[in-house]
Amino acid sequence: MFENVRADLSASIARRKKNDWWKRHPRIELLRAFGNIGVWPVVAYRFGHWAKSVRIPLVGQVLRLAGMLFRQFMMVWTGVFIHPDAVIGPGLVIHTWLGIFVGTTTIGKNCTLSSGVLISHATRSVGDNVYFGAGAKIIADTKIGSNVVIMANSLILTDVRDNTTIGGVPARIKLRGGRPQRFLKEEPVNGGSRDAAKPENGTYSAPVPPSAAPVSPSAPLQVSLTAPLKAPLEE
């Protein structure tokens, strides 16, 4: 249990920015990881799953009761429920919480969940490095491969092979590659603010090609009726 929790915290820390020097300190990183609300449902699941394996009389019952109370409190607080009978590998990250349900299935390592994700009990297995977009749902007897990106609000009804990006309702759009893109925050230019390059009038204009000559608004529009028409491009 402790190795999986350590891997979950490491995955959560790796996704955080470390621009300031004080954020790079190991203790500060650990405190920031526990400050992430999405970490606590994962810890509650890890504890409940571990408590079910304790076979010591009376001690096991007390631990399972504590795990159930801890899990129910996290469900009410964060809106995330992960069944203790699920088998989930290390590196589980809840990117955005609320409205997440994970049933009794098997999930590999380095899985990322977003708001509104539903992984039903009927799901056979989920591979490694799978990213679930917001609102993604798996409600059929399906198997998800490794290195898969499931787009937001997708409904999975069939098996998904490895290295695939899939989306749709039901999910039929399949693209090659299963690596989610990371959209980083725009950094200031030359140490200044992002508004430094903004024009005074508050608007942006597209650059004019060097070959384009300025046209006066009062100039008459000249159209040549004798110029041959260009043939359409051949496919």
Task: Single out the residue of 189, 154, 199, 198 nearest to residue 175, CA to CA.
Answer: 154
Q: How far is CA 229 from CA 22, 212, 224, 225, 226, in A?
A: 66, 21, 10, 10, 9
Tell me which residue of 201, 130, 188, 114 sits closest to 164, measured CA to CA.
Answer: 130
Report the C-alpha gap between 70 and 40 in whole angstroms. 10
**What is the C-alpha separation between 202 and 162, in angstroms, rounded?**
47
Domain ranges in the chain? Answer: 2-176
- Smallest CA-to-CA distance from 163 within 185, 144, 140, 139 is with 144
* Mean pLDDT in order along the chain per 10 residues (235 residues): 72 62 62 78 92 89 92 91 93 89 93 93 93 92 92 92 90 73 52 49 45 48 45 43
Residue 206: the pLDDT is 43
Q: If one looks up domain 2-176 in CATH, what number appears? A: 2.160.10.10
Model pTM? 0.67
Query: How far is the C-alpha of 114 from the C-alpha of 105, rounded, in Å?
Result: 18
Establish whether the linkage from the previous residue to 220 is cis, with ω within 30° of 0: no
Provide the pLDDT for residue 25.
59
